Amino acid sequence: MTELLQIDGLAPLAKGTRKQSKVMLLFPPEWVPTAPYLALPSLTAVLREAGHMVIQRDINIGMWDHFFSMEFLIWVKARLGMQLKTLRDKEKAGLLTERDADQKAVVEQAYDIDVFDLADRAEDAKLIVRGERFYEAETLEGALNTFRETMAYISAAYYPASLVFYPMESNLGYRPGVSNEVFACLDDEQVNVYRDLCNQLVMPEVAKEKPDVVGISIGTQMQLLAGLTFCKMIKQTFPHIKVVVGGNVITRLQEDLSNHERFFRDVFDAAILYEGEHALLWLIEAWNGERPLTSVPNLIYRDDSGLHRNTEVYTEKTTALPLPDFEGMPLDRYFVPELIIPYLATRGCYWGRCTFCDHGQGYFDQYRGMPVQLVVEQIKALRDKYHCRHFLFSDESYPPALFKKVSQLLIDQDVGIKWTTLIRFEETLQDQATWDLAAKAGCCTLYYGMESANERVLNLMDKHASKSVIERNLQMAAKAGIWNHVMAFYGFPGETLEEAMETRQFVLENQPVIHSLELFYFVAYRHTPMVRKPEQFGITIHKQEEYDLPLDYYYTLNDPSTLSCLDAMQLCEEFYKRDFHPWAVRVNSREHVFLYISKFGTNKLPQIYAQQAQPVGSPDGVSGVITWPVARPEGDEGMSRVTSHEIS
């Protein structure tokens, strides 16, 4: 049985008695390029406080910077040339397969592109997103399109992989939910671009720094293949270095990883589950012979006798943790003209009841928060240390009481920052003065997991928000000058077509106070309450044997009169085709919109919208518009988003 340790149940060793280790922490692709992720700085702070030497490297932003460079694109040109020669030789020998012919056509087309022109434009695009030209919407749109064009060029050299820029939808052709395909991908030199990234960006750093331990934080499924590729290549080349993984996805896959000793033999040495600050510290001490491995909580590891999972779970005392340490992060390389820093005041979700949500899986013990005075003290410390005035409050959902108190204290102490966060629609937030206060305190943008506008469906989800409250919250926030971003989805089990259309009608009618929008279809995530008890929600879960690393499941409805998964997908596609154009923006990063509002001081930003003449509901719709990425760097209530602060 898993046991929860008392917060102070494991005392750290005294500094004078502890052996100092050199630790390299890596954050792998693919993730957004607009702000640092909170995992590494949180781990780094605890390790440095304990006396260890820490090198933290954001390989994700390193990848984007590298991809859009003259050096890498010339290297891609050479790779394309070698592939083209091989394919032409096969053609001459009469050995060209149908797949080879398809690849040859793609490679030939890419090889004819003027790589020097493309690289010059890509380098300039980086200057645009990092400088004052960022605030010229048309110029910024052109830079983002150059990034997309460059990714198409790079993809040709890794055929048939599809590598894309933001939103993160790259596809190497291997399914990350199937272990056999994951293992095959790690060694595939044709499609696995992360092998080349590892050789070019990671291995030279490891060889130079000679760390005792390498820790890799894998927060999302999009990072899984890159993270595991780095692990395996480091472990093969430097067998004396201990390699440990952690992060939200590792926690969610804990049962499956325990069934695959091969991961611990060939890819990494240990996996940390749940929160990882002190678990990693104690693991390093165990590897140094200063405590037994069996005493380290949150741990799966392999030794000569096999695979072991320690049953104890440790949860962090948030008020005792040091301030996240961003020293060593490339704070000047993110694709923004002004630094944005993530900050976390709470862990878990204060509501914690939504039946479709599995974010709580990242924590063993749910909600914990810090007092408002400490929150504001830490924000001021980060502001002053890193000369930063823009913050992502990365909480799952900002508690209403904290929302009010933080706003007031930020004003009282004249902190002078701009910020954004996620928040629930709440009965207790129906006073216009509350929203005006938040705006005065620097709140620029808010993100709401509305999910549905039908109250029966909302009650099935256990969200318990009324349509009238949703509408009033949106109106009041908009009136205060805050940008409202709404997230919703079709197809919650039991939802009828009429109820789904109620959501559609609501967002169309409230378009003036909904500044941006994401609409999805329901996904049955593995660790949600409804998947644990499918009979209560009228669904049948279908587990496929080959999917032995699943994060979600295919399901069917027991009542055929309600919306099926396919119905919801079709409704979603129809919405984007017919109705979405009022929300089509020329920039596709929440952080970019955040900075625009901070710069111009208003939520009325017509320059960032695509120019569309069609009325709402036009059958012609809009093709090729920019939408928001699904995966986000902050916590979220929504059904298909991920969090940034699963920091093991």
Burial class (CB in 10 A: 0-12, 13-18, 19+), 1: exposed
Question: Which stretch of 305-314, 539-548, 637-646 has the lowest confidence by average pLDDT?
Answer: 637-646
Q: What does the pLDDT look like over 553-587, one tens digit per residue?
A: 999 999 888 999 999 999 999 999 999 999 999 98
Q: Quick one: pLDDT at residue 361?
A: 65
- pLDDT of residue 629 exceeding 50, the answer is no
Measured from the Cβ of residue 532, the count of other Cβ atoms closer than 10 Å reads 12
Contact 470, 476 (CB under 8 A): no
pLDDT, the chain, mean: 91
303 membership: H or E segment, kind and range: strand 299-303
Edge-to-edge strand ranges of the sheet holding 213-217: 53-58, 22-27, 213-217, 242-246, 270-272, 299-303, 306-309
Helical H segments across 426-520, by residue range:
432-440, 455-460, 467-480, 497-509
Bridge partner list, 445: 420, 483
Q: How many Å apart are CA 578 and CA 580, to the nearest integer?
A: 6
Element (H, E) at 256: helix 254-257
pLDDT at 621: 40
The identity of residue 425, as a single letter, is F
pLDDT tens-place string over residues 238-285: 999 999 999 999 999 999 998 999 999 999 999 999 999 999 999 999
Lowest mean pLDDT among 529-538, 613-622, 638-647: 638-647
Q: What DSSP letter does each residue of 78-96 carry, written as one string?
A: HHHHHHHHHHHHHHHTT--
Q: Which amino acid would we find at residue 433?
A: A
pLDDT digits 0-9 by tens, 338-375: 999 999 999 988 777 888 888 766 666 668 899 999 99
Instruction: Work out the angle between the directed axes of helices 70-92 and 59-67 (0-180°, nearest 10).
Output: 70
Distance, CA of 43 to CA of 298 (rounded, Å): 15
Res 353: pLDDT: 82
Please report the domains of the chain, with CATH numbers, ordered by start residue. 3-60+194-318 (3.40.50.280), 338-525+564-608 (3.80.30.20)
Cβ neighbours of residue 433 closer than 8 Å, sequence gap 6 or more:
none
Q: What pLDDT, in 10s, does the model give residues 159-196?
A: 999 999 987 789 999 999 999 999 999 999 999 999 99
More confident residue, 166 or 505: 505
Which of 147-161, 463-477, 606-620 has the lowest average pLDDT?
606-620
How do residues 428-446 score in pLDDT, each as one tens digit? 999 999 999 999 999 999 9
Judge whether residue 628 has pLDDT over 90.
no
- 530 against 159, higher pLDDT: 159
Cis peptide before 615 (omega within 30 of 0): no
pLDDT at position 257, please?
92
pTM more than 0.85: yes
pLDDT bucket at 589, cuts 50 / 70 / 90: confident
Tell me what pLDDT residue 612 has: 54
